[in-house]
Homo-oligomer: A and B are copies of this chain.
C-alpha cells in the first residue's frame, strides 16, 4: 500500500521539528522528495489539521511550529499503536528528577506534543507542565511519588521507564 495520509502527517511533523522551515513550499518540496505526492492546497489543510503555525521567531524570520497545547489525538497513535512501533516512543528522550521538578527531554519540536500527553495522563502527582521546543518541565506536588509518576507516564511513553536519569 502507498503512503497513507497519516504517514504524510507524521512526515510533516518530523520535517518542521527537524528543520527550520519558513514556508509551506519548503515543506512541500521536502515531502515530494520523500516520495509523497500532493499539492500545496492539501498541505495547507494538513497543517491546519495538525495545528501547526507559522510563528515569528524573534530573529526577523518565521518558522513553522507545532502549536502549543495541541491535542493531537487524531494523529496520535492509538493505544494499540503506542505499544507497538510509533513515533511517540521515540519522542521522549529522557527524564530526570530534582526535587519537585522533572525535566523531560524530547526530540526537537515535540515538547508540546509530549507535554500534552503528560497532561492527558492526569497524574495526581503532576501539578503542571511547561513545554519548550525539546524540553518539558514537570512540576510535581510536594508529596508526589516519583516512581508513581514514571509508571503513569509509561502508559503513553512506553520507553520512559528506561530513560530515567
Contact = CB atoms under 8 A, between A and B. Distances in A.
Please give the count of copies of this chain that the complex contains: 2
Given A67-B55, A70-B58, A99-B100, A132 B130 contact: yes
B51 A53 contact: no
A52 interface: yes
A98 B54 contact: no
A58 B112 CA distance: 15
A27 to B, nearest CB: 15
A133 to B, nearest CB: 4
A51 to B, nearest CB: 5
A96 interface: yes
A84 interface: no
B131 A105 contact: no
A61 to B, nearest CB: 9
A101 interface: yes
Contacts of A99: 99-100, 142
A105 B100 CA distance: 17
Interface of A: 47-58, 60, 62, 67-71, 96, 98-101, 103, 105, 108, 112, 115, 127-135, 137, 139-142
Q: Which 4 A-B pairs have the closest CB atoms?
A: A68-B133, A68-B68, A53-B55, A103-B128
